[in-house]
Every structure is written in C-alpha cells, then in structure tokens.
C-alpha cells in the first residue's frame, strides 16, 4: 500500500490513515507535497493529484479526479505543492450520510464547515504529526467522523475570511502629519519630540488611550543611561470610521503662552 501511515487509537476504534495536510484558504487551497486529506464542493477538480482514494465501507478505493459527491472525503497525493481552485458553494448547510464506524467526510463548501457540537471529528495535523480533534473542517479538507450506526450529519457553512491581525502602528508627529490608517483592533503609537511636547486627545468612540509617557534610547558605556527623546501616546482602535486626534502644544500653558497652533491629525480606521 503506497500510503505513509500513522497508527491511531481513538477510544475503542483502531484505524490506519495516511499522514497528510491541507492548508486552510478561501476559494483556492494550496496543498503540500505528499498525501493530503481533501474534499470540496461538487465539480472541484483534483487532476493535479497522482493518487486519489476514497474511504468507504472500511476500505480504500480509487476516486475520480472530479468531485461528484461533496460529502465524500479523499486522500490525495501531490508530487509538489499544488493549488486547487474549489468550485463555489456557499449554501447554508449540507446534510451528509454516515455509516456505522469511521467515515471520511469531505468539506462540501468553499469555506470552513462547522460540525455539530459534540461531534467527534479528527483532522490530520501534518506539522505536528498527529490527529487533532476539530470543531470545523478546513476549506478543501476532510475529517474522520465516527458514528455508532447509520445516521446523518449536517455541516454548516462558515466563511474562512479572517479579520486583519492586530498590529502596532508607529508614526511620528510632526514628521508625518497624517492621515494615519489602521484597522479595528490595531494599536496606533504616536511619537512626538520632547523638544516640543503636546497633549493628545482622541474621540473615545473610535480610539481608546492605552498608554502615554516618554521614551528613548538606552546606552550602556560603563554605566547605563536612558536618553529620553520622545513623548508617546498609544491608542487602540475600537470602531471603524474616520476620526481625529487633537494635539495641543503644552507651551500654550506657559506664561506668556506660545503662539504654537493646536493641530489635528486624521485617523482612518478600517474594519
């Protein structure tokens, strides 16, 4: 048998399955070289695979390159990293039949497939060389699902689109007077030279102040000295939209006050 195998004991059940991996993506999935646990909507084509097998009634058999049964998961062997375009299917749910014992169930959507709460579903994690208990089947993937007898399972579509990863965005004023662009969840860190300090205020509907103070470099030549160079203000974006930061020069509080104008900086917050 041409599979690379991993022996796995799950409860009282014992089965042998190939070590494989599929990467989560939307519409197009890139599979790693070797055996991959695959699935897809009807009409998805795995013609790039040199080996393609379906699991049914306790045994493997050759599978066609074009998916006709989106509930049927498969093992596909790719000679190198291969991108596969999934046929589009974003129907709300699909009900798949289950036989008694282990079933290799494919993801019938062009997105993640949520399995019902309490379902025992295992997906091969090739990076960690183990099966993971999962609550959703990745786009382009399949999972082992155990049933005590003949039954059905209803999978729910869930888009795999992910929000941007929160980031720390650093900008300097007045070197860059804006506008600044961040996403919801990002932190905006504004640096202002201490030679001309400002008080900075934001609209709390959009930006929450998380920290403020003074920052600079540390030098350690014999003794360590902190050389404070800048003010910093760190704001967290909590809602999308356009807002402003108001920067008031501290020298306006002097007697007599300076002639430095108050400044505003536009911040565009994307979802």
pLDDT of residue 129: 58
Per-residue pLDDT tens over the stretch 221-256: 555 555 667 888 989 998 888 999 999 999 998 889
Tell me, yes or no, whether 33 and 79 share the same domain: yes
Q: What is the spatial distance between Cα 110 and Cα 167, in angstroms, rounded to a whole number?
A: 28
Tell me, yes or no, whether 174 and 154 share the same domain: no
Tell me, yes or no, whether 154 and 189 share the same domain: no
Residue 164 has pLDDT above 60, yes or no: no
pLDDT of residue 239: 86
More confident residue, 161 or 1: 161
CB atoms within 10 A of CB 90: 11
Q: Which value, in Å, is the radius of gyration of the alpha carbons in the chain?
A: 28
Sign of the Cα pseudo-torsion (218, 220, 221, 223, in order)? positive
Tell me, yes or no, whether 235 and 136 share the same domain: no
Q: What is the spatial distance between Cα 128 and Cα 20, in angstroms, rounded to a whole number?
A: 11
Tell me, yes or no, whether 130 and 175 share the same domain: no
Q: Evaluate whether residue 163 is within a structural domain.
A: no
CATH number at residue 228: 2.60.40.2020
pLDDT of residue 20: 34
The tally of domains found in the chain comes to 2
Residue 215 has pLDDT above 80, yes or no: no
More confident residue, 251 or 1: 251
pLDDT of residue 9: 29
Residue 201 has pLDDT above 90, yes or no: yes
Q: What is the spatial distance between Cα 122 and Cα 175, in angstroms, rounded to a whole number?
A: 53
Range of the domain at 221: 168-270
Per-residue pLDDT tens over the stretch 92-142: 999 999 999 999 999 999 888 989 988 888 877 655 556 667 788 888 899
Is the pTM for the entire model greater than 0.75?
no
Mean pLDDT of the chain: 81
Average pLDDT over residues 17-22: 33
Per-residue pLDDT tens over the stretch 169-194: 777 888 888 899 998 888 898 989 88
Block residue for tokens 């959703």: 136
Residue 13 has pLDDT above 70, yes or no: no
Tell me, yes or no, whether 121 and 211 share the same domain: no
Q: In angstroms, how far is CA 13 from the centroid of its own chain?
A: 32
């Amino acid at each position: 048998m041409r599979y690379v195998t991993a022996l796995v004991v799950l409860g009282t059940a014992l089965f042998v399955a190939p070590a494989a991996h599929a990467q989560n993506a939307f519409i197009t999935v890139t599979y790693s070289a070797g055996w991959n646990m695959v699935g897809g909507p009807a009409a998805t084509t795995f013609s790039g695979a040199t080996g393609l097998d379906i699991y049914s009634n306790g045994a493997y058999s050759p599978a066609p390159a074009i998916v006709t049964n989106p509930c049927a998961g498969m093992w596909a062997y790719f000679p190198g990293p291969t991108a596969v375009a999934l046929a589009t299917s974003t129907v709300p749910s699909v009900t798949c039949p289950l036989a008694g014992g282990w079933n290799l169930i494919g993801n019938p959507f062009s997105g993640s497939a949520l399995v019902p709460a309490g379902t025992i579903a295992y997906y091969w994690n090739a990076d960690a060389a183990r099966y993971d208990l999962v609550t959703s089947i990745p786009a382009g993937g399949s999972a082992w699902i155990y049933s005590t007898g003949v039954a059905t399972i209803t999978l729910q579509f869930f888009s795999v689109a992910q929000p941007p990863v929160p980031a720390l965005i650093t900008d300097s004023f007045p070197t860059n007077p804006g506008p600044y662009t961040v996403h919801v969840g990002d932190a905006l860190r504004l640096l202002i030279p201490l030679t001309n300090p400002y008080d900075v205020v934001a609209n709390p509907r959009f930006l929450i102040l998380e920290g403020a103070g003074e920052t600079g470099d540390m030098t350690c030549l014999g003794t360590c000295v902190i050389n404070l160079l800048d003010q910093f203000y760190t704001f967290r974006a909590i809602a999308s939209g356009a807002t402003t930061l108001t920067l008031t020069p501290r020298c306006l509080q002097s007697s007599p006050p300076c002639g430095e104008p108050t400044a505003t900086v536009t911040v565009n917050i994307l979802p």
